[in-house]
Amino acid sequence: MEDFLFIQELYNQGVTISQIARETGFDRKTIRKYVLSGEPPTARPRVRGPGKLDDYKEYIRDRISGHPPTIACIYREIQEQGFTGKYTIVRDYIRRIQSEMSVSADPSHEAGPGRDRGHPDADQ
């Protein structure tokens, strides 16, 4: 927005498009676009396509519930099913859902303040 206003100001003062381009470092075509449009540029929202892991997320969630295998094991299994992504995508996803699962399964909020929830006589 700041650049747009500066470019408009220079152009209104009679500075040529080429001179504005040299001074600002923008391409001449960009300067021309800003000058002719009369409106500041707007950012278009990014549209994300489907992720490489999307087709395998349900399978991964099923595999890690209960007694989960290693991440490497799950990675090999989904590769055999056609997954073409990198190990790090799988690792990061599994770590994220494991932390979500551990937070939702953590009963620490149920033991009142000052109570030792791990001690057998805690509720007596």
Instruction: Provide the pLDDT for residue 102.
Output: 78
Q: What is the pLDDT of residues 88-107, one digit of tens each?
A: 999 999 999 988 887 766 55
Q: What is the pLDDT of residue 111?
A: 54
pLDDT value of position 16:
94
Q: Which residue reads 């209960």 in tokens? A: 66
User: Do 31 and 20 meet the contact criterion of CB atoms below 8 Å apart?
Assistant: yes
- Taking all residues of the chain, what is their mean pLDDT, rounded to a whole number? 85
Spans of the chain below 50 pLDDT? none
> For the chain, what is the largest distance between any 2 Cα atoms, rounded to a whole number of angstroms?
86
Taking residue 53's Cβ as centre, other Cβ atoms within 10 Å add up to: 16
Say what the pLDDT of residue 87 is: 97
| Cα gap 59→87, rounded to integer Å | 16
86-89 contact pairs (CB < 8 A, 24+)? 89/51, 89/52, 89/53
Q: What is the pTM of this model?
A: 0.50
Domain positions in the chain are 2-37, 54-105
pLDDT value of position 66: 80
pLDDT attached to residue 20: 93
pLDDT of residue 88: 96
